[in-house]
């Protein structure tokens, strides 16, 4: 009887161009990229239930549809030296539900998933910036939850690297103060690390800090003299606002006084700008549609300014506008 071939034996009948993998050749291994883009199979990462996609307030959702929320005491401050990201996010949910914070379950889910899919890329190499200021700028911030998560979920980084947050929008939503109050109860290390700037994207607010609403922030800001590590966020900035954010972020980083300036962006565009405003060829617009064409154009704009550009996504069950553009420049 003829013995079957050894499992490691390569068949001579393998069709040409067939993809194979090897345990010895690293070039044939699956791509381990931390934010590989596969929007059709994106799964949920956050501790918030994947069913929490309604426009109901978060506390109403848990009261009526999901009884899984732990009934821990309110105002439960976490230990910054012994709290995982998952534990922090879980306690934020608890605090929001206990305090009946007026924020939709879907918005919380969206911010959680955005943060979890961008944090590794945006915070890469931050260990080399211990003597530098890390500034997170959240444009078109709305309630400001997305930017605040970067402070909440990085207590050690926030304390050792003077990490600060600027939430920028044309008005402060009424629920912002309640969101901040709940987050500071859970994550007291964010106090004095954030401000909400009432400003247009194109206003020159960064250098003068004239319309802040957080005195502690100003005292800890060191006058913005060394913004050597800047993270720019824009979650669902409508139409051409995403392009305005790109222009603002790339112009600011290009004129930075620090020779070692690092700039990173994470953008999840909403509706595309008007077709006639796009500079990309007509054939691409006709082939892919305005939304895809506008994101392709944004990638080329960022690449021309020296950025490495990639895509990732949040689950499409949250929103069909789920593509995230991540751009890095060291």
The residue that leads in pLDDT, 5 or 288, is: 288
Highest-confidence segment of 49-63, 65-79, 126-140, 142-156:
142-156
Residue 88 near residue 78 (C-beta atoms within 8 A)? yes
The residue that leads in pLDDT, 312 or 206, is: 312
| Contacting residues for 133 by C-beta, under 8 A, at least 6 apart | 161, 162, 163, 164, 222, 224, 226, 227, 228, 229
For 236-290, the pLDDT digits (tens) are 998 889 999 999 999 876 665 554 467 999 999 988 777 777 787 888 888 888 8
C-alpha 17 chain-centroid distance: 38
**Span 28-41, average pLDDT:** 49
Q: Which of 37-46, 136-145, 255-264 has the lowest mean pLDDT?
A: 255-264
Residue 293 near residue 285 (C-beta atoms within 8 A)? yes
Q: Is the pLDDT of residue 77 over 70?
A: yes
**Span 231-235, average pLDDT:** 96
Q: Which of 37-46, 49-58, 135-144, 146-155 has the lowest mean pLDDT?
A: 37-46
- What structural domains and CATH numbers belong to the chain? 35-272+309-329 (3.40.50)
For 164-179, the pLDDT digits (tens) are 999 999 999 999 999 9
Q: Is the pLDDT of residue 63 over 90?
A: no
Q: At CA 326, angle to CA 321 and CA 330, rounded to 5?
A: 165
The residue that leads in pLDDT, 224 or 40, is: 40
Q: Please, what sign has the CA dihedral across residues 293, 288, 142, 122?
A: negative
Reported as type and span, the H/E element at residue 134 is: strand 134-139
Q: Is the pLDDT of residue 145 over 70?
A: yes
**pLDDT value of position 249:** 92
**Span 213-234, average pLDDT:** 61
| Contacting residues for 52 by C-beta, under 8 A, at least 6 apart | 58, 61, 66, 105, 106, 108, 109
**Span 51-66, average pLDDT:** 78
**pLDDT value of position 13:** 43
The residue that leads in pLDDT, 221 or 167, is: 167
**Span 71-76, average pLDDT:** 62
The residue that leads in pLDDT, 48 or 328, is: 328
Question: How many angstroms separate the CA atoms of 148 and 162, rounded?
Answer: 14
- Band of residue 137 on the pLDDT scale cut at 50, 70, 90: very high
**pLDDT value of position 290:** 83
**pLDDT value of position 146:** 97
Q: Is the pLDDT of residue 42 over 60?
A: yes
- Band of residue 72 on the pLDDT scale cut at 50, 70, 90: low
Question: How many angstroms separate the CA atoms of 91 and 16, rounded?
Answer: 53
What integer best gives the mean pLDDT of the chain?
78
């Amino acid at each position: 009887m003829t013995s079957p071939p050894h499992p490691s034996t390569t068949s001579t009948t393998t069709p040409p161009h067939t993809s194979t993998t090897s345990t010895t050749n690293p070039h044939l291994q699956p791509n381990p990229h931390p934010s590989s883009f596969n929007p059709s199979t994106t799964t949920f990462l956050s501790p918030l239930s994947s069913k929490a996609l309604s426009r109901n307030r978060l506390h109403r959702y848990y009261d009526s549809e999901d009884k899984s929320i732990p009934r821990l005491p309110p105002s439960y401050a976490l230990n910054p030296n012994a709290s995982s990201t998952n534990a922090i996010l879980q306690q934020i949910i608890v605090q929001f539900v206990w305090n009946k914070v007026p924020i939709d379950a879907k918005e919380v889910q969206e911010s959680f998933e955005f943060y979890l899919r961008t944090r590794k890329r945006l915070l890469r190499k931050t260990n080399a910036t211990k003597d530098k200021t890390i500034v997170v700028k959240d444009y078109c911030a709305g309630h400001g939850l997305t930017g605040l998560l970067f402070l909440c979920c990085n207590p050690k980084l926030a304390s050792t690297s003077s990490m600060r947050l600027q939430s920028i929008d044309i008005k402060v939503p009424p629920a912002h103060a309640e969101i901040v109050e709940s987050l500071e109860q859970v994550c007291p290390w964010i106090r004095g690390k954030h401000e909400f700037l009432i400003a247009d994207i194109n206003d020159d607010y960064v250098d003068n800090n004239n319309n802040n609403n957080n005195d502690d922030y100003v005292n800890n800001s060191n006058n913005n003299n060394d913004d050597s590590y800047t993270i720019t966020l824009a979650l669902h900035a409508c139409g051409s606002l995403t392009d305005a954010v790109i222009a603002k972020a790339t112009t600011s980083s290009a004129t930075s006084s620090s020779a070692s300036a690092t700039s990173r962006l994470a953008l999840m565009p909403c509706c595309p700008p008007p077709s006639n405003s796009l500079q990309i060829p007509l054939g691409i617009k006709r082939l892919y549609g305005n939304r895809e064409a506008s994101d392709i154009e944004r990638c080329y704009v960022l690449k021309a300014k020296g950025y490495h550009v990639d895509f990732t996504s949040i689950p499409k069950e949250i929103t069909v506008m789920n593509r995230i553009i991540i751009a890095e420049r060291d």
